[in-house]
Amino acid sequence: METSLLIIFVLAVLVLLLNLLLRTKKKEPLPLPPFPGSWREILATQSEFYAQLDEPSKSAFEKRIQQFLSQVRITGVKTTVEDLDKVLVAASAVIPIFAFPEWEYINLREVLLYPDSFNHDFEQQGSDRSILGMVGDGALNGAMVLSQHELRQAFLNKTGKANTAIHEFVHLVDKTDGAVDGIPEILLQRQYVLPWLQAMQKEIRKIRENRSDINPYGASNEAEFFAVAAEYFFERPDLLERKNPELYQLLVLIFRPSPAGPAQAGFTEG
């Protein structure tokens, strides 16, 4: 009898100790699994942005891809989501905020992939199906909708200035401060807000007068201007810098591309 009491006592003490140990142990995020070689291949061949990074930055980029995919679900609507799609969506998310290591898309839970373009009611048939990407509002808050076809095409095209997925993520970045107004107050230092606003308005006037090589859709309003200018900046930094150095420098101040990465040529801090 005494022995069994002793055993119970010892067990109770052990359970108590174990409990204390577990409670004091700090909760740490699970370590990320190794980055799949096939995903690295996708990035190396499809993303100019990634291809031009140095090795440590490439590893950092891969980690950000995995973190993004652990937080945001990618769901196919009448289409199958392949690894290619996951990697391209995540790359489009990471590219605009790569210079901000702490950044998380707190306003996004899910990306819905439609096979091709859709309309405002998310119908994929009919004549009014011109939308290639959209940031959800209202009931769809926290969701983004993208055309799978467009997502893949943008990364295949090496000379274009457009990338719908990057465009939509830039809207989300813009939205983080509460207003989708073309001014990303979280990224842009206060003293550059006015110069940026003036540059946007000046370039929108030039688009309307047919004197700009920026996508005319950017003349819709400042929010669309910011998104199309950012697409151009990340897809063809070399061309934008040559054609519009003033706008290019302001976008450098916003997105702060790393000296080891693309889009850094001609960047002088000051």
Is the torsion defined by CA of 142, 105, 61, 27 positive or negative?
A: negative
Question: From residue 1, how far is each of 7, 9, 10, 13, 263 by CA, in Å?
Answer: 10, 12, 14, 19, 78
Contact residues for 50 (Cβ-Cβ < 8 A; gap 6+): 43, 44, 58, 61, 91
3-state SS, residue 237: helix
> Is residue 227 within the footprint of Zn ion (CB under 5 A)?
yes
Site for Zn ion in 207-226 (CB under 5 A): 224
> Is residue 173 within the footprint of Zn ion (CB under 5 A)?
no
- How many residues of this chain bind Zn ion (CB under 5 A)? 2
Contact residues for 76 (Cβ-Cβ < 8 A; gap 6+): 85, 112, 113, 148
Cβ of residue 134: shortest distance to Zn ion, in angstroms? 8
C-beta closer to Zn ion: residue 182 or 261: 182
**Residue 210, amino acid:** N
Cβ of residue 19: shortest distance to Zn ion, in angstroms? 52
Question: From residue 138, how far is each of 10, 173, 191, 222 by CA, in Å?
Answer: 57, 18, 33, 21
Quote the CA–CA distance of 78 and 80 in Å, as a whole number. Answer: 7
C-beta closer to Zn ion: residue 224 or 235: 224
C-beta closer to Zn ion: residue 113 or 145: 145
> Is residue 204 within the footprint of Zn ion (CB under 5 A)?
no
Cβ of residue 168: shortest distance to Zn ion, in angstroms? 7
Cβ of residue 100: shortest distance to Zn ion, in angstroms? 21
**Residue 257, amino acid:** P
Cβ of residue 61: shortest distance to Zn ion, in angstroms? 24
Cβ of residue 130: shortest distance to Zn ion, in angstroms? 12
C-beta closer to Zn ion: residue 103 or 169: 169
Interface residues with Zn ion (CB under 5 A) are 224, 227
